[in-house]
């Protein structure tokens, strides 16, 4: 059992001070398994099992990447917990694919830590393109008809213009590892055109049509399945668009 020392000074009837020492036992908290685990957040859970006679107890967690809990950041979940029972803390702004150590503590005058539990955050999403990005993609044009295709990385979007009977393709500058990803979402706008296809790579040697002619095969912001077995470049293609341009605002893959 852990104890703290509390000093009291009493006045005697003769006007002299008398020092008294009181031993204060530490409250006890246990660490439970985390819940709501995601790539960048989880909920730490604990249980205050003994208040050691105190009317209120401070409880919280040490959370960080060091196995020695004293080297991790201290977070207070409840500064004045007045009864035994569970408590929790939402840990945010974490790193994906990282092992974290969580240790519950209880404190009155004396602090006592519970056991340490470890948890690994899962892999996060992969953002292939976001609005305002000015590098990472290159454009190629097949001028099979009129020579007016082009592609641009602009301040608020990726803009693709394909020639009639030709096509324009935006391709990532390097291979992207999406082998751990299972779905993809593309935020885009494109009005459509007869004979036109707007598509994106969704597998090792396949592509997913986002819009064919005037039909939204996959509406903007809707998840679709992907299947990659090795890193590769990803391409967004627009063909036979004539005077209609496609705009891309974000491309993101998810586990």
pLDDT of amino acid 9: 43
Copy the structure tokens of residue 118: 């470890």
Whether 244 and 130 map to the same domain: the answer is yes
Copy the structure tokens of residue 254: 């998810």
Whether 86 and 168 map to the same domain: the answer is no
Whether 18 and 33 map to the same domain: the answer is yes
Q: Pick from 85, 120, 155: which residue ends a domain?
A: 120
Whether 102 and 135 map to the same domain: the answer is no
Residues β-bridged to residue 76: 60
Residues β-bridged to residue 172: 137
The parent domain of residue 234 ranges over 126-254
pLDDT of amino acid 23: 61
pLDDT of amino acid 191: 92
Whether 34 and 150 map to the same domain: the answer is no
pLDDT of amino acid 21: 53
Whether 134 and 114 map to the same domain: the answer is no
pLDDT of amino acid 111: 95
Whether 59 and 130 map to the same domain: the answer is no
pLDDT of amino acid 25: 85
pTM for the whole thing?
Answer: 0.71
Distance CA 5, CA 191 (A): 75
Whether 241 and 143 map to the same domain: the answer is yes
Q: Pick from 64, 97, 120: which residue ends a domain?
A: 120
Whether 83 and 133 map to the same domain: the answer is no
pLDDT of amino acid 142: 81
Query: What CATH number corresponds to the domain at position 50?
Result: 2.60.40.10
pLDDT of amino acid 164: 75
Whether 101 and 138 map to the same domain: the answer is no
Q: How many domains does the chain have?
A: 2
Task: For the chain of 255 residues, list the mean pLDDT of each consecutive stretch of 10.
Answer: 45 48 80 96 98 96 98 98 98 96 96 97 95 95 72 96 85 96 97 93 96 95 98 94 89 96
Q: Pick from 53, 85, 120: which residue ends a domain?
A: 120
Whether 21 and 108 map to the same domain: the answer is yes
Query: What CATH number corresponds to the domain at position 196?
Result: 2.60.120.260
* Range 121-152 burial, b when 16+ CB lie within 10 A, else e: beebbbebbeeebeeebebebeeeeeeebebe
């Amino acid at each position: 059992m852990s104890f703290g020392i509390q000093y009291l000074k009493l006045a005697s009837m003769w006007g002299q001070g008398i020092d008294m020492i009181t031993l204060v036992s530490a409250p006890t908290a246990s660490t439970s398994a985390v819940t709501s685990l995601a790539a960048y957040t989880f909920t730490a859970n604990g249980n205050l099992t003994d208040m050691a006679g105190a009317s209120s107890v401070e409880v919280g967690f040490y959370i960080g990447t060091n196995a020695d809990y004293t080297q991790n950041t201290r977070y207070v979940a409840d500064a004045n917990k007045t009864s035994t029972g569970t408590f929790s803390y939402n840990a945010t702004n974490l790193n994906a694919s990282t092992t974290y150590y969580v240790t519950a503590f209880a404190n009155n005058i004396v602090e006592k830590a519970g056991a340490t539990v470890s948890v690994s955050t899962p892999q996060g999403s992969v953002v292939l393109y976001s609005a305002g990005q000015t590098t990472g993609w290159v454009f190629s044009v097949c001028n099979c008809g009129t020579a007016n295709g082009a592609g641009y990385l602009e301040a608020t979007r990726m803009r693709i213009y394909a020639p009639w009977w030709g096509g324009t393709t935006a391709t990532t500058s390097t291979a992207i590892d999406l082998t751990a990803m299972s779905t993809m979402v593309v935020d885009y706008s494109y009005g459509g055109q007869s004979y036109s296809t707007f598509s994106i790579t969704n597998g090792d040697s396949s592509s997913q049509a986002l819009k064919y002619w005037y039909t939204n095969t996959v509406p903007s912001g809707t998840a679709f399945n992907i299947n990659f077995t090795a890193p590769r470049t990803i391409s967004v293609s627009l063909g036979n668009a004539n005077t209609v341009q496609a705009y891309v605002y974000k491309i993101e893959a998810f586990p």
